[in-house]
Amino acid sequence: MPTLLKKEILDQGDIPTHIAIIMDGNGRWAKARNLPRVAGHGEGINSVREIVRACGEIGVSYLTLYTFSSENWQRPRTEVSAIMKLLLGTIKKEIKNLHKNGVKLSSIGNLEELPKDSREGILNGIEMTRNNNGLNLILALSYGGRQELLMAIRRIADKIQSGEMEKDQISEEKLVNELYTTNVPDPDLLIRTGGEHRLSNFLLWQSAYSELYLSDIFWPDFRENELITAILDYQARQRRFGKTGEQIS
């Protein structure tokens, strides 16, 4: 769809500030074509490229992609290593173009658990783009929502133990300060592709009031038109944050 037309349609409603996506269905996309699972991840990269570009053009400020979960380490070793290679190869290949387009790359999750070359590739990309002020592209890598909450709780416990904080000072704000996503607004729209209806340990704290959009489409087939459909669906909803409809309108 031409950029102008796209903007004209979407600008009639709220553009979500933060979109988070659970990119699911790569394996099934490949299986349906008698291809190895990794071919699905490879094609998934083309969706990543298209969705990143579209989000930049639409004026989304933050895009978080669930790229590799804490639990994904349990997959067969060959698949894990193929995903890590794909990740590094993609960053190396795309980073100049992302940089040129003002994208600021960052990550959430335990990067320490990644193989050294993949970790360094990500860190180089983060460093190269750190002064950009276009789309914030956040890759969730070795990320788990429960693990993130445990990390935050431990950090708060350390502060209490050292006398830096009192127990009574624990608040939502103090907890948010210890999450990977401190300084990032909560997702307005959380998309899951691939037909499953669950959060799978993604942004458990941050998604408390996110609008969920569940699509049956496998990630490699989820492209710009599907994103626009999701945003239009989001725009048709009323976000009440626990209040009544009358209070909102």
Nearer to ligand FPP, 19 or 23 (CB): 23
| Angle, CA of 183, 184 and 185, to the nearest 5° | 115
**CA–CA distance, 44 with 87 (Å, rounded to integer):** 11
Min CB(194)–ligand FPP separation in Å: 5
Report how far apart the first and last C-alpha atoms of the chain are (Å, whole number).
33
**CA–CA distance, 65 with 202 (Å, rounded to integer):** 10
**CA–CA distance, 29 with 23 (Å, rounded to integer):** 12
Q: Where on the chain is the footprint of ligand FPP (CB under 6 A)? A: 23-28, 41, 44-45, 48, 65, 67, 72, 83, 86-87, 90, 139, 194
Nearer to ligand FPP, 68 or 234 (CB): 68
| Residues 143 and 73 sit within 8 Å (Cβ to Cβ) | no
Q: Nearest residue by C-beta to ligand FPP?
A: 27
| Residues 152 and 175 sit within 8 Å (Cβ to Cβ) | yes
Per annotation, catalytic residue among 72, 110, 132, 201: 72
Min CB(35)–ligand FPP separation in Å: 12
188 counts as catalytic: no
Nearer to ligand FPP, 23 or 55 (CB): 23
| Residues 136 and 61 sit within 8 Å (Cβ to Cβ) | yes
221 counts as catalytic: no
Min CB(235)–ligand FPP separation in Å: 26
Min CB(22)–ligand FPP separation in Å: 8
Nearer to ligand FPP, 164 or 196 (CB): 196
Cα-only R_g, the chain: 19
- Residues involved in catalysis: 24, 72
